[in-house]
């Protein structure tokens, strides 16, 4: 597992092969279901090489949804500020724009290693501890329950069982996955059939679910 004193500092950078990253995604696992396993496997995947900022962002873009990337970044910066002494804050160590790091520059290589460490630690702490909402079998959408009512009930359940604010990045990811997983039968099937539904935003999924709900309501009348 990544350690702040054992960040990879190499002299040679092998060009990123996105095909390898896509293959790795198949065996990586899901962040919400197994953050420890995801962190360990990604750590092993990244460790043999030293990646630039651009390459690391490309890797994260392939492996995680936008919401998950935001969760990981905020968690990684929080861990850095908490555990690492130095003049640079977390938002400086994980910049939003390409800092132009060069692997031939020793300081830049250190920055790349620090970012690798922040990614792994961010994954470990991105998923809220005590996430028990999945253990609440009563939280399923009723057959004729309007989507707005169902979503509000799910938001309250999220806060009750996991202690997560549904308006945060972590809360939005949990809300989206639970909304799909526990929607009424035909709505759930429709949403899960959608290509890469995990990468779509909550509002987009809700619009799709609303269409299914309206069609079903019209058929009943």
Residue 13 counted as domain residue: no
Going from the first residue of the chain to its last (221 residues), give the mean pLDDT of each consecutive group of 10, the final group possibly shorter: 48 74 92 87 90 92 89 91 85 93 88 93 80 55 80 80 73 79 78 71 78 64 52
Residue 114 counted as domain residue: yes
Global confidence as pTM: 0.65
Give the domain CATH number at 30.
1.10.375.10
CA 205 to CA 187: how far, in whole Å?
Answer: 10
Residues 22 and 101 in one domain: yes
> Which pLDDT belongs to residue 137?
44
Residues 166 and 121 in one domain: no
How deeply is 11 buried, as exposed, middle or buried, from its count of CB atoms within 10 A (0-12, 13-18, 19+)? Answer: exposed
CA distances (Å), origin 161, targets 72, 134, 166, 171, 220? 22, 9, 12, 12, 34
Residue 10 counted as domain residue: no
Q: At 20, is the secondary structure helix, strand, or coil?
A: helix
> Which pLDDT belongs to residue 40?
93
CA 107 to chain centre: 29
Residues 207 and 183 in one domain: yes
Residues 105 and 148 in one domain: no
Residues 89 and 26 in one domain: yes
**Residue 170 CB contacts under 8 Å (≥ 6 apart), including other chains:** 71, 126, 127, 128, 164
Give the domain CATH number at 148.
1.10.1200
Residues 147 and 119 in one domain: no
What torsion do the CA atoms of 206, 211, 216, 219 make, to the nearest 10 degrees?
170
For the chain, what is the domain count?
Answer: 2
CA 62 to CA 151: how far, in whole Å?
Answer: 29
Q: How far apart are the first and last CA of the chain?
A: 58
> Which pLDDT belongs to residue 195?
65
Residue 214 counted as domain residue: yes
Residues 116 and 99 in one domain: yes
> Which pLDDT belongs to residue 151?
82
How deeply is 155 buried, as exposed, middle or buried, from its count of CB atoms within 10 A (0-12, 13-18, 19+)? Answer: middle
Q: CA angle, corner 204, sides to 69 and 193, nearest 5?
A: 90
Domain, as residue range, for 104: 18-126
How deeply is 19 buried, as exposed, middle or buried, from its count of CB atoms within 10 A (0-12, 13-18, 19+)? Answer: exposed
């Amino acid at each position: 597992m990544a350690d702040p004193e054992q960040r990879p500092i190499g002299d040679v950078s092998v060009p990123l092969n996105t095909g390898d990253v896509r293959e790795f995604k198949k065996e990586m696992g899901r962040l919400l279901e197994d953050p420890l396993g995801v962190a360990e496997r990604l750590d092993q995947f990244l460790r043999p090489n030293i990646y630039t900022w651009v390459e690391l962002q490309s890797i994260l873009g392939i492996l995680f949804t936008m919401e998950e990337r935001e969760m990981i970044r905020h968690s990684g910066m929080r861990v850095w500020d908490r555990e690492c002494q130095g003049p640079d804050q977390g938002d400086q160590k994980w910049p939003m724009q390409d800092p132009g790091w060069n692997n031939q520059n020793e300081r830049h290589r250190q920055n790349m290693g620090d970012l690798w460490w922040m990614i792994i630690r961010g994954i470990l702490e991105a998923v809220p501890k005590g996430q028990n909402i999945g253990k609440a079998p009563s939280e399923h959408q009723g057959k004729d329950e309007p989507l707005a009512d169902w979503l509000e009930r799910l938001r309250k359940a999220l806060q009750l069982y996991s202690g997560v604010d549904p308006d945060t990045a972590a809360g939005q990811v949990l809300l989206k996955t639970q909304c799909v997983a526990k929607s009424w039968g035909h709505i759930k099937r429709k949403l899960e059939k959608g290509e890469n539904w995990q990468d779509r935003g909550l509002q987009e999924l809700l619009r799709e679910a609303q269409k299914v709900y309206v069609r079903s309501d019209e058929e009943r009348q």
